[in-house]
Chains A and B, each alone.
Chain A
């Protein structure tokens, strides 16, 4: 059985796994974006909180994914739970870091002009800093997404959803008939998902970055 015959014969399994892979990454990114941008908004101007949240999110990222998934089993069990928790936690660093950098990187004169016109601190944050930081925040989310698509493959180890199952199957039956096909299908599937997510973020970028920031000076 060659590769295309393999894909056709296992289409149901493969498409379901791919869908779940995208879903688990999408949900994790959604949660970590909401929480991470929130933390960034609260912490960008508080040196202590900022330092702590960045340190924690960086520490999480240094834990090997296999280890983190294993450690989560007693708490969130096998499958979706542990996968979602781990993926969400891994996405925090790029998102929080870019949010903080974006908000703090806004030109001081903009903030002074806003405050000088009688905008409250919160209004300056939401109406000036956030829109100006948005391109950088979006980049952080995009980087996090690419990272999670790869890490999600490991989740198969704790019986998680996604294309990782194909890869692990191939690995465990190395030398048998469809071992290579399974691994290849899983890997290519992940590449396709990554490309689709990137296209999605390109569209989001075009739609949400204010026109005034895109015009040439």
Chain B
């Protein structure tokens, strides 16, 4: 089922509409969207904007009132819903592991529905457990209630990946975990997706999460109208309207810095860099700025040279500010920057 170019299959939505009987307005109104194969697209928007409904129409847990859905060119509405869903991975916030089945049985559910042999299913379960960093021998025969929230989420992702579906739908899969576990799971998931290149629709109301995970972000308004559909960097740099800008918040430029790595920026070789605070090459520019602020300096040392405040400005496309005036406080030799961060550095992106 579905043509597959890469790990994933493309998804096309055409005039997709859901109008619940008895409601004055449609919950989802004529959504058009193209999702390229192998990309992770985040639907982000406030609660009740129809993002989950839009996603659930793709595996037909919600039947569309009108419109078209194509996965890998194939018309989804002509397929049997149960058969369709066996080829689309599905992970939800509450995880929904079956407590009466072992972890192994939970992960092997879809392969069983698809009629895989017991041996093939067992191999796949083992492979998936190690893919989500759970030791197969320790977890295979345990029950969901014996696992922590984070471990359950990983099993949930493994279960969604079980039959190697080209398309995955994820509804706030990390939403119910504590912030530390959540960040950990997000980082693991980014790595996993780099390797698998599935086509993923990921629903969240957390814009930070959207920036972190998405190849593209669809910012949705009420009735699932698409306010903007672009890469995280482009949305942060050029929000389409006040609505999108409001969603980004007042720190768009900082968020853009967070998307860039120290290694991505030209670092000039300068003498004396050994005395500067150091930053790792795979740290983000936001972390570099933090180091500079913390040390009251406008430069820090990276493995490839010296990273300057001006380089950060260039990286986010603002005019490199006039070199901040440095003045000595008292007789101390520590330079302190007194110049305020130029307005340009906060960017027009805020839309104010």
A contact set with B: CB distance below 8 Å: 107, 109-110, 112-120, 128, 131-132, 210-213, 215-217
Contacts and interface: CB of A to CB of B under 8 A. Distances in A.
B85 A109 contact: no
Nearest to A108: B94
B85 A118 contact: yes
Given A132-B99, A212-B102, A213-B99, A117 B143 contact: no
Contacts of A110: 96, 98
Nearest to A113: B96
A117 B110 contact: yes
Nearest to A121: B82
A216 B145 CA distance: 7
- Which of A110, A117, A210 has most B Cβ within 10 Å? A117
A119 B82 contact: yes
A39 B97 CA distance: 27
B90 A117 contact: yes
Contacts of B190: none
Contacts of A128: 98
A217 B145 contact: yes
- Which of A110, A131, A132 has most B Cβ within 10 Å? A110
Q: State the main secondary structure of chain A at its contact with B.
A: helix
Contacts, number: 74
List of 3 A-B pairs having minimum Cβ-Cβ separation, nearest first = A113-B96, A118-B86, A109-B94
Contacts of A120: 82
Nearest to B82: A118
Interface residues on B, range: 20 to 34
A141 to B, nearest CB: 19
Given A109-B94, A109-B96, A116 B143 contact: no
Contacts of A107: 94, 96
A116 B85 contact: yes
A109 B95 CA distance: 7
Nearest to B90: A116
Contacts of A216: 145-146
Contacts of A210: 99-101
Contact of A119 (B87, B113, B159): B113
A118 B99 CA distance: 18
Given A110-B98, A116-B169, 14 more contacts: A107-B94, A109-B94, A109-B96, A112-B61, A112-B92, A115-B85, A118-B82, A118-B110, A210-B101, A212-B99, A212-B144, A212-B145, A213-B99, A217-B145
Interface in B155-182: 159, 169
Contacts of A119: 82, 109, 113
18 contacts: A107-B94, A109-B95, A110-B98, A113-B98, A116-B169, A117-B85, A117-B86, A117-B110, A118-B87, A119-B82, A119-B113, A132-B100, A210-B100, A210-B101, A211-B143, A212-B100, A213-B99, A217-B145
